[in-house]
Amino acid sequence: MSTIQNRPAALDEKMLAELDPSEQLADVLAIPEHLRDAVWKAESAAVEPWESSGGLVVAGMGGSAIGGRLARAILGDQASRPVLGVAGYALPPWTTPEVTVLCASYSGETEETLACFEAAGVIGARRLVATTGGRLATAARAEGVPVLPLAGGLQPRSAVAYLTVAALEAAAICGAGPRLTTEIDVAADHLEQLSVAWGPGSDEDSEAKALARALHGTVPVIAGADVTEPIAYRWKTQINENAKQHAFASVLPELNHNELVGWGSAQRFGRFSAVFLDDSDATPRVQRRIELTRGLIEDAAAGGTHVVPTRGQTSVERVFSLVLLGDLVSIYLAVLNGEDPGPVPVIDTLKARLAELE
């Protein structure tokens, strides 16, 4: 019998505790405190700033990579140099000694990030490392590369606050952006309020729980634009890993030039839902595209179409409001699916088999 038929009657605190033995929900609710602790850890590293005319490249994979993408969204037009992410074994071919490279690996054992660390050293680029330890920390200390420490004991994807703050700190160190300590502290206070409104003790019709129920049994397609583009990708990956199901991320306005056509036959292939992440500071043109796109696809979206706005004033508040909401939705979806959101055995199996090849 399917998990859809056997889903819990209520997403109450007791049911959530039973179906989340690894306490992933607690790590999501701790994001405000993670932000504060991340600032303290970054400051305690006491890395002297330098000027890097080539900007910042953040090398990382999976949960360790998202911090760089979110940092770029947060910086927006405050970035005075390029801030770009790379996921893979190689740095961009245009990387020069004038570029600062932040190598982010929560475990310190990510082979792609280790390759980028070595490559950055070969070309003479200034390097920073964000990790909890492993071979990456060992190599960094051996070569005198500054380490921005992260809190241990988390799933990499649950360290999103630490990794984002580390990327923001790296941008400040190399002159690619301003230091945003005050904005991060204010955002943490704001997120504590949202945690109450959306958390396990909230009403069954609270936004996070209601959205999870609406998406349950469907393949969510999450669309972002500008600031919300990396957040849409975060929602996709959190639903993949926590809820153990497919989800996809799209970008406006690009999706209006291709994906929009595919929605016409969506019901022939499965049950899909659409989520549009709308930044309160987005241009009216993007907001109009969301309205028009939603109207054109609503009949094909079995799980409905949903517009989810950012909350808050600063870019840190707005970005992390949707990070928190998406993380909560993914945990609630896991419970509705009858899945423990913590373990990711297939990823562990892949890593073990790759290690055997060495």
- Enzyme catalytic residues: 241, 257, 351
As a residue count, the chain comes to: 358
312: left (phi over 0), alpha (psi -120 to 50) or beta: left
Q: Are 255 and 232 in contact (CB under 8 A)?
A: no
Q: Is 85 helix (H, G, I), strand (E, B) or coil?
A: strand
C-alpha to C-alpha distance for 235 and 182, rounded to whole angstroms? 26
Torsion of CA 155, 225, 93, 178, to 10 degrees: -80
36, 183 contact by CB (below 8 A): no
Q: What tokens does 205 get?
A: 């019709």
The beta strands (E) that lie in 28-125 are given as 56-59, 83-86, 100-105
Residues 6+ apart with CB under 8 A from 277: 222, 223, 224, 225, 228, 231, 232, 235, 308, 310, 322
- CA-based nearest residue to 252, from 305, 219, 214, 292: 292
Do 172 and 179 contact (CB within 8 A), yes or no? yes
Contact by Cβ (8 Å): 327, 31: yes
* Closest by Cα among 93, 97, 157, 166 to 128: 166
